[in-house]
Amino acid sequence: MKRGKFIFILPIALLAIISFSAFKRDSHNFELSKQLNIFNSLIKEIDLFYVDTIMPEKIIETGIDAMLEKLDPYTTYYTEEESEELKMMITGKYAGIGSLIRFHEKKNTTVIAEPYENMPAAKAGLQIGDLIQSINGVNVVGMSSDSVSNMLRGEAGTKLTIVVERPGTKQPVTIKVERENISVPVIPYYGIMQDSVGYLQLESFPEGCAKEMRRALIDMKNKGARAYIIDLRSNGGGSLAEAIDIVNMFVPKGLNIVETKGKIKRSNEIYKTTREPVDTVSPLIVLVDGQTASAAEIVSGSLQDLDRAVIIGARTYGKGLVQVTRELPYNGFLKVTTSKYYIPSGRCIQAIDYSHRNADGDVARTPDSLTNVFRTAAGREVRDGGGISPDIQPKGEKLTTLLYHLIQDMAIFDYATDYKLKHPSIASAETFNLSDEEYDAFKSYLKSTGFNYDKESYKALKQLKKMLDLEGYTEATKTEIEKLESTLQHNLDHDLSFFAKDVKRLIADEIVKRYYSQKGGIIYSLRDDTDVAESLSLLKDLKRYREILQPTKE
């Protein structure tokens, strides 16, 4: 009797659940239809009655952007005009002149910051430091670098006439450039370092980067590399498929690397390694920092979870979300977050839950106390919810206020341009050093430009003085405040001497780029890189390397 009642009640319960689900779905669809109807009517009313004529494409695009901003930073609408930008993000390819550009505030125009080797800008003779005055007869002085970039891009084979002001020349220089299909170099440098260690820097994950990296690894292996350092610092990610192929170079095929989970069934998928690896045994180190994100975190996190690499650097960004592109009417596109990804240990490293915002709309990183413990293949403890925590975290160098302003104000950039005018050649990137006499020359140059900056600590002191005055403590704290004010007083000579080592390194790096391009700059910077030094030290001590990849004994 009891059994019969149970069998009879169960279908009723199921029917209730199904009915409730259908009600929720119908209610959701009704609410969506209702809000779309309201929005449509609102736009028509504004267009008809608003005192000034509106531009429908602008006002609606603003509304779309504001709506998507409430979701996450990665769900983005691209108009037909912006579709080339999306294409470049995905493929790393575009048609243009092949150069980094930057707006020079003091000169009020865009400057050539770094022409890529063997690409149109470099082949035509454009140089670092050239100030762009006009493009095809259009004056671009005062124009944003984004606008200038759009003018420089176009159909491959089309020609540009660029007029530049070149430091050291009295008359404007006219350069004729033919646009080409540009593939941004994703591996600006790789090579063999000391003790047969192969080093490779990967800047992003566009389509095809895995093939390029595989060729580079095989080349280093054939040249005698016995260990590898893969540099993913400041790598913002890209293609999920490319990331899996890169992990596959160091681990056997057939392993689960990434699982994606979303709201709809087709967003749920498991990605495995499918190819024969390049090297599954040589010691491997991956360098990461706070700007290592997305696909770069899949590579570093998966290699950590599989105990295949030691991760060195700073905690990564924490982007565990996957986007796909969807076509929209009138040749627009939507890049939309469809799922979260989970790496081999089962953890998701997404640091921010955008669905839970504070009352003011802000979001915050998941605190460490709320993260969960997972285990690597060997049983090491790792956590979710906050990026990839490195196995070794060397003491990082902080960008002081002085260094920040020297870079931001392009003081070092301009000095390096001036330096090249006076020095036809320099020593190799491996051996070049800035002498004390040359650093003194930089100090004199800096003063002649009227360079100035405010310390953040001094700004904070000013604010503190206002608060003390407001609360009536000015007289009681007068002596202490005057002493602190004297200590923090701006003193450029003191700061240039105190931070001489760091400033000299930045100057030398910028100078080397003038003679040996991006590759030379990387070679120079590796000489004094704390993460690389830590990596090379670890690779000399393989006992310690293997111990790091084993679980802690309790």
Q: What secondary structure, in 3-state letters, does 436-468 show?
A: HHHHHHHHHHHHHCCCCCCCHHHHHHHHHHHHH
DSSP secondary structure string for all residues of 220-246 = HHHTT--EEEEE-TT---B-HHHHHHH
CATH number of 189-324+337-383: 3.90.226.10
Closest CA to 389 of 407, 368, 409: 368
The span from the CA of 255 to the CA of 283, in Å, is: 20
Give residue 133's pLDDT.
97
Phi, psi of 445 (to 5 degrees): -60, -45
Contact 180, 119 (CB under 8 A): yes
- What's the whole-model pTM score? 0.85
The span from the CA of 24 to the CA of 16, in Å, is: 12
pLDDT in tens, 526-543: 999 999 999 999 999 999
Distance of CA 272 to the CA centre of its chain: 26
pLDDT in tens, 435-455: 999 999 999 999 899 887 765
Q: Percent of the chain scored above 90 by pLDDT? A: 72
3 state DSSP class of 328 = strand
Amino acid of residue 40: N
Give residue 399's pLDDT.
74
Give residue 8's pLDDT.
43
Contact 176, 159 (CB under 8 A): yes
Strands (E), 42-167: 76-78, 93-96, 99-104, 109-115, 131-135, 138-139, 159-165
pLDDT in tens, 46-82: 999 999 999 998 999 999 999 999 999 999 999 988 8
What is the sign, positive or negative, of the torsion defined by CA atoms of 425, 431, 434, 437?
A: negative
pLDDT in tens, 132-157: 999 999 999 999 999 999 999 999 99
Here the tokens at position 372 are 């969960």
Phi, psi of 12 (to 5 degrees): -65, -40
Cα–Cα distances in angstroms (integers) from residue 2 to residues 297, 337, 421, in the given order: 55, 49, 97
| Strands 93-96, 180-183: pairing kind | antiparallel
The angle that helices 500-526 and 411-422 make with each other, rounded to 10 degrees, is 70
Here the tokens at position 86 are 């999306």
Give residue 14's pLDDT.
52
The gap between the terminal CA atoms of the chain, to the nearest Å, is 56
Distance of CA 191 to the CA centre of its chain: 23
Phi, psi of 422 (to 5 degrees): -100, -10
271, containing H or E segment: strand 269-272
What are the extents of the domains in the chain?
15-80, 93-183, 189-324+337-383, 401-453+490-538
3 state DSSP class of 41 = helix
Q: Give the residue numbers marked as catalytic.
A: 294, 305, 319
Superfamily of chain region 93-183: PDZ domain (2.30.42.10)
